Amino acid sequence: MYALIVYESMYGNTGQVAQAVAEGLARAMRTEVVEVAAAPVSPPEEVALLVVGGPTHAFSMSRESTRRSAAEQAREPLVSQGPGIREWLAALRVARGTPVAAFDTRVAKPHLPGSAARAAAKRLRRLGLRLVAPAQSFFVTDSRGPLADGELDRARRWGETLAGHFAVPTS
């Protein structure tokens, strides 16, 4: 049994958060981190915890138009260049009741509405999956990043918290 973290990342910030969450989870369970384009839409039965993360675009999960806009702003090729977590979740086939959690990255501006993590959590619940933690946001200083100070440490701690709620053997 293991945790599977599926992430979408434009400029690498969400990918860094996914890796940090995995480090926290790895203290209690084997963990695999997969970019959304390589993620299975039917995860193996051995997946005991599914964690989904992506950037907040236009107050929710990315869509084709927001990914195109991100590509236009990019200085380098995007990390995730195909469909995002929105499309992956639409195709996801996993056993009802599977434990899940969701996170996002978003610009650190007070009272800015919307969250990719909350939108993903809502879709996961509609699929009959069991949220083990509230949706979590990690902050970037600008749309391209970098992550705000302390966010990777906070992501590791969140991973540890997830592991504490749902610990399985590391073998």
What CATH number is associated with residue 14? 3.40.50.360
Its domain, for residue 37, covers 2-165
Evaluate whether residue 171 is within a structural domain: no
pLDDT at 104: 98
Kindly compute the dihedral angle of the four CA atoms of residues 60, 42, 31, 76, in this order, to the nearest 10 degrees: -50
Distance CA 102, CA 124 (A): 9
pLDDT in tens, the chain (171 residues): 899 999 999 999 999 999 999 999 998 899 999 999 999 999 999 999 999 999 999 999 999 999 999 999 888 888 998 999 999 999 999 999 999 999 999 998 877 788 999 999 999 999 999 999 999 999 999 989 999 999 999 999 999 999 987 544 444
Evaluate whether residue 161 is within a structural domain: yes
Evaluate whether residue 97 is within a structural domain: yes
pTM of the entire predicted model: 0.94
Evaluate whether residue 156 is within a structural domain: yes
pLDDT at 27: 87
